Amino acid sequence: MLTRLIAKLSLAALFGLVMSGPVFAHAGEHHSQNCFIDVSDTRLRLSGYQFQPELENEHFCRVFPELGQIIIAVEPLEEGLENRQIALELLELTSWTDWLLNAEKAFTVIKQQPARQFGAGLVSIQQTIRQHGIHALKVTLQDDSGHLRHQYFVFLVGVPVNKILAILAGLVLLGLGFVRIRKIAGKSDRAV
């Protein structure tokens, strides 16, 4: 019963990811925990950081394993963007129903950085996040013709994926061990 519920919820989440509009458009690939997104005709690299002692030299992309201070740095991958305007907004998911129906209304702004020029080529936003959840970074960038274009980048905070996978692997091994013991016990009962 519980397994069916988990399967249905997983399918609903997967369906929501596939059917939702621009919020889930990753528009890039991962290379060693850096993410790449395209905003209009410009390719940007996103790098995430957390400053807990065990995570000091780690870069994060889609999953920040701990709560606390996060920093997301955005940098262009091409030259000549110093004069372009860029604005960053950090968003938090506040409505699960809107997430499935109208993703842009599902998020609430928790930090907004005013538009500024790229300048030296690196712009960042930081925030202390105290609740587990789904967050997004909205990147607004001026394109070649002067229009403002935006892209959303969705990520999780406070989800220790490595610990969760280790626990799940342990539970699977316990389950397999239990099944094996029941088979051995069933064979010995039939032998008597």
pLDDT digits 0-9 by tens, 74-88: 988 888 777 888 899
> Is the pLDDT score of 28 beyond 90?
no
Higher pLDDT, 9 or 130: 130
> Is the pLDDT score of 22 beyond 80?
no
Residue 40's Cβ-count burial label (10 Å; 0-12, 13-18, 19+) is: middle
Element (H or E) spanning 5, and its range? helix 2-19
Q: Nearest-CA neighbor of 59 among 78, 46, 69, 68?
A: 46
Average of pLDDT values for 45-70?
A: 83
* Three-state DSSP class for residue 180: helix
Q: Which of 19-23, 45-49, 155-159 has the lowest mean pLDDT?
A: 19-23
Average of pLDDT values for 109-128?
A: 87
pLDDT at 55: 76
Average of pLDDT values for 58-63?
A: 82
d(CA 42, CA 127): 25
Higher pLDDT, 181 or 103: 181
pLDDT at 110: 93
Give residue-wise pLDDT tens across range 119-157.
777 888 999 988 888 999 999 988 778 888 989 998 888
> Is the pLDDT score of 20 beyond 50?
no
pLDDT-above-70 percentage for the chain:
80
CA angle 70, 74, 75 (to 5 degrees): 145
Q: Which of 27-41, 117-131, 158-172, 174-188 has the lowest mean pLDDT?
A: 27-41
Model confidence band, residue 166 (pLDDT cutoffs 50, 70, 90): confident
In angstroms, how far is CA 48 from the centroid of its own chain? 10
Element (H or E) spanning 34, and its range? strand 34-39
Where do the structural domains in the chain lie, given as residue ranges? 2-159, 160-192
Q: Could you tell me the fold of the domain covering 2-159?
A: Immunoglobulin-like (2.60.40)
